[in-house]
Chains A and B, each alone.
Chain A
Amino acid sequence: MDFNDTPEEAAYRSQVRTWLEANAPKKRDGSDPEGGDSMAASKAWQAKKAAAGYACITWPKEWGGQGGTPVQNVIFGQEEAKYPIPPNPFQIGLGMCVPTVMTFADDETKKRFVGPALRGEEIWSQLFSEPSGGSDVAASRTKAERVPDGSGDWLINGQKVWTTGAQFSDYGIVIVRTNPDVPKHKGLTMFWLDLKDPGVEVKPIHQMSGGSGFNEVFFTDVRVKDSQRLGAEGEGWKVSLVTLMNERLAVGGATGAGWSQFLETARNTPGLDGASALQDQAVREKLADWYVQAEGLKHTRNRTMTALSRGQTPGPESSIGKIVSAVQMQELANTAIEMLDQYGIINDGDLAPQDAAFHWSLMFAPGLRIAGGTDEILRNIIAERVLGLPGDIRVDKDVAFKDMPTGR
């Protein structure tokens, strides 16, 4: 038991370090954490990585990857993170959408899209969630109907929501209803489409946190060719599973202020009797709990990495990450703010401790507890897929979609 690279991993890490030292940016461009004005820098960095084979390390060489291992991918990520690299708006496209296209599209389509996506020239969005179906994506109402002119083309109408990065995306994959007369999972079909099409309207969502990283996307008579279909008609749910396989890895853990920032803030904040708040026993116990959770997650990732390093499939333990980190982010932020007492209400970055990082966490954490699988859905997944408990009773399983009860 140790934390060392194997000789092969060490050699790869050294190769990656040499390349990064020569190529990675040394100082950060002005960037905003919820995605914004740093697109040029992001695209330039992506193009550089693609030219050297580091954009999608595990992809086959013929598609611009290195045919590398998941461990090599992790190693690159670890080393890359040591540099002030720009935000990565390509993750959803390259992690979920393009692999779906690569699995289901014809060669011509693949040749057209894979390269530009890899190089960061074109950005892809995933259009699954809807106002009427977040956790229950299979309840999607956005519909595609054949144009009755014999062309085989389809017309898409409806609305998607919570689409990350749609405001700067070029293409997307969208799951739509093509048959409302069968149960919900059986009447779905997947397409790729051009988000610059005049029938597509992207409206940023104003989040409760103030930022706008997500969008609503409206479709009005968007015409797509049958050749844009990914997988068979009615097989969209199965296609979506390929896409979602990687989602919980792509939606990372919590960022923002952690136990260490909390400790420093507590040290500098007067507590109950005028002594430092860090001397407050209640504060110290919580701090210990958060440290233990954070360490638990860190070493759980090390266990996952070990399995990959040994060429094994990682165990299910990696599924605990977001449940723990998102809840902790919210609780830690709130405890920090209450520790500041009356002053805690101030979230001006110039006045609040840690540039108001705790306040940002407090307002963003509710979203993190929902995105990429809510706390509740993730518990269901652990219960069903890890522990082998029965699935929930589904009253809509054998009901035609058009007859399903709907609320708001």
Chain B
Amino acid sequence: MRKIKLLFSCLLFASMLQAQETFPVNGIADKRDGCFAFTNATIVKDAQTTITNATLVIREGKILAVGAGIAIPKDATVIDCKDKFIYPSFIDIYTDYGIPQPQRAQGPGLTNPQDFFRAQQSQSLASTQKGAYGWNAALKADVDAVRIFTVDEARAKPYRETGFGTVLTHQKDGMVRGTGAVVSLANEKENLVIIKEKASANYSFSKGTSTQSYPSSMMGNIALLRQTYLDAAWYKSNPAAAKEEGINLTLKNFNDNQALPQIFDAQDRGTDLWNVMRADRIGDEAGVQYIIKATGKEYQRIKDVAATKAPLIVNVNFPQAQDVEDPNDARLVSLADMKAWELAPTNPASIEKAGIPFCLTAADLRDPKTFLTNLRKAIEYGLTEKAAMDALTKNPATWLGVYDKVGSIDAGKMANFVITTAPIFSDRSTILQNWIQGEKYAVREDAWYSVAGTYNLVVNSNAGTQTYTLDVKSNSQANIIGKDTVAARFSFDGKAIKIGYATGQRRRTLPAGMGGGFAGGAGGFGAASAPVTLPANATRLTGFSNGNTWNGTGVDSTGYAVTWSASLISLTTAKIDSAKSKPIPKTGGSFYPFTAFGNSDSTVPKQETVLFKNATVWTSEKAGKIEGGDVLVKNGKIVKVGKGLSDASARVIDATGKHLTAGLIDEHSHIASASTNEGGQSVTSEVRIQDNLDPDDINIYRQLSGGVTTSHILHGSANTIGGQTQLIKLRWGVNDEELKFKGADPFIKFALGENVKRSSSTQGNTRFPDTRMGVEQVLIDAFNRAKAYDAARKAAGGIAVRKDLELEALAEIMNKKRFITCHSYVASEILTTMRVAEKFGFRINTFTHILEGYKVADRMKEHGAAASTFSDWWAYKNEVQDAIPYNATIMTKVGLNVAINSDDAEMARRLNQEAAKSVKYGGLSEEEALRMVTINPAKMLHVDDKVGSIKEGKDADLVLWSDNPLSIYAKSLYTMVDGIIYFDREKDAAMRKQVKTERTRLIGKMVGEKRGGAPVSPFSPSYKYISTCLDHGHKLGMLEIDLEDLELNHANH
């Protein structure tokens, strides 16, 4: 079988124009130099230059000459391209064409759910890659696409038929993916189609087929890449490195590939828009400007995307309308998803308008053949044709350093071009042929000639001769005109003709003016109507075109054989409609964030001068509660606290009967981050929440509605030394960077007990530690290593000692530059951990959860630790059996700084009430209780100079409550951050109406799409992937999915 295949392919190659020098020929040599002249064409050399009535001459796969009135070589075969258009073939910069599907170490690739779970369960701590490679299997710097590339005609064909002639191909596997090669889509031997062996170095956020447990999160992905740049730099420039590391092919190749264009796929694993910014920041730190494969959502935050200065690779994979006719289905599709459907086609235009250099790609389309249809949609939505052309030719060619070979129609370049019936971005255009390396690939030969026109049809039968006028509308539509005019069944495929008709019975005829021109037949882009149905006794004729006359045979209505011929009377001249500029379709406006309750440009809240008059002011300071107090806010700060204040410039808010407090501070939160746990290892101090903030999380807005203004976003509790935390202010609508609480001390999350020993994992645990005894050792060992590292770094300086992000963070702790918030429950682990810290000369800043803190509160006080706890949680796992709601009260009375935290996006909306429970449980005063969610956490987080109380000079982070803030009946009327009112209950009421109106409009539009006959996809509920700390069960809403819960249960065994 194999032999036969081989023979077949040899035969194929023998017919090729360019035989290879070193390869023997089986048969008679047939060397041709492939000289062709394409005359009378409109040639678009590049996006800037169009020549009409021009000639293109090619020879031996190269362009010999192009222009108007150039000489045609005598040996050239002339192809008349009158009324045709010639364009450079497109280049797709993002493919894995001809690259075998990457295989997992332990089995097949990820092609079905069973594999997925098997793979998840077979993860290992160490790399399974054998050889002199690096430590992590997600780093595949050694892979060169050119070495594994094979010509794949089945995949090349659809690309060619869409107009592509050249692609960059690489193996889409891993975070560092090695190099990509530029290849043509010619069906030739590999040796001949490779244009550039190493044209790019590719990267992504997906670890691909790696079965290694680390990294398991977005933060981990970013940390691994950051560390790899450091390792590579060290490996390259430090002479000691070779001694310590030996030969590390991963790092060596990584370094070798740095000179190439660096392409980062930010889209892999979901379509999180912020991945573009995340990727760019990795590059910024390493001194690399990535070309970034965009997510398709750039229009949502185009300013932020433009600010990265990254050139983009943009797909045209626009979502289909969903079938939302059933209101119960529609109810579960979010405004953001519907809006993304509506606005996705504006993405390329939006990128162009922002001045971002970009390439277009057919990547992510289920069928590359839909590329042009979608691209035309993008053009309809404002993308200019010129930009589209550059994005498909010159830009990718230039970026990849192959513009001397491809990307335009210029003498000396490869003969890669497409011939079309009309301007290529017009709806009426059909690609006829795609020439690659001087070889013709037919796409739609039938459409080369239009047969639209009138013909004299003569049918000869036993009964005599009958004559009709055949009015051909297009290659698939015609009317027969005899006594009556009837619609015929008609087709012309470039050569063969079929005609069927039944006279004598009136049938629907084709409206005048329909069809004709260059429109293709069925399956083309022209208007194709349903085929005419014929009765059983219809006359059926078949034959061939011999130019202006057609001849053939058939049967008539009585079943007798007939012969027929048709001769041209006159062709319908195609009306080239002047590029009528259709108005850009109307869409709703955008908003920030791109979700319900986001603000439009006109409703974005601004910093104000505000005077709260006559409130009960809970200062959380020594001043206590001020009845009838006034607070003046200016330039984002509290400028005056007192009574009888006035300020002419201020907007006065009458707070009579209302209560004003400092914005609430949540010491323990997991909102607004794309991932929470990096559980791939027991020590992951290198990962940072700041790397994957998600400013679009609706929970920011929801928590503002509950009076929260500052949240400490923590790493989860999957491992002993977790990741670096990030303090944020709940500035709804800003970008990820602006979310950060500026100037706050950096913190890190540690965790102890059941979670880090993975007691509840359904798969058991093989990762050290498995006991609290082991947890102590993990801590001691980590700090021992960090101590040695810190000393070495300080002594050696520079790059002599490899910069290790993990140990760096631990050294910061010992140098009191970074502070710990430690997840903890039981007395033993609390004491043990304090002693480890003391041994290394630092303190645990905060114990969080700390449900048995009441048992060792005196020791914690001696140590100097603060406590951040839940009000009344217990009995959800073994280590919280002794948790009591009096915990906060006891710890407060012993003299600890105590906060009440949420660790839960829902409860954070009621943080004031959670604090109020300590009035009930143990009898704290109301003011003491409120301090547990204001000034106490501020102190714990070292930001009490800025927030946490109502004091002149502090940030204007304030909440005006309808009632006593400790009461269950209290609602936030205004929540202000930096003097900006981000939540306003009245405005919220108006926004609710807007959300409903906009939803109604979009549902109507989607339903209209379906009723208009457009393909729709089944409705898809807008699930929300939430990340939690993994500590306890979370009540999940109907559409909520706790992703990490699942991932961790399957990780690492």
Does A pair with B?
no
Chain A interface residues (CB < 8 Å from chain B): none
Chain B interface residues (CB < 8 Å from chain A): none
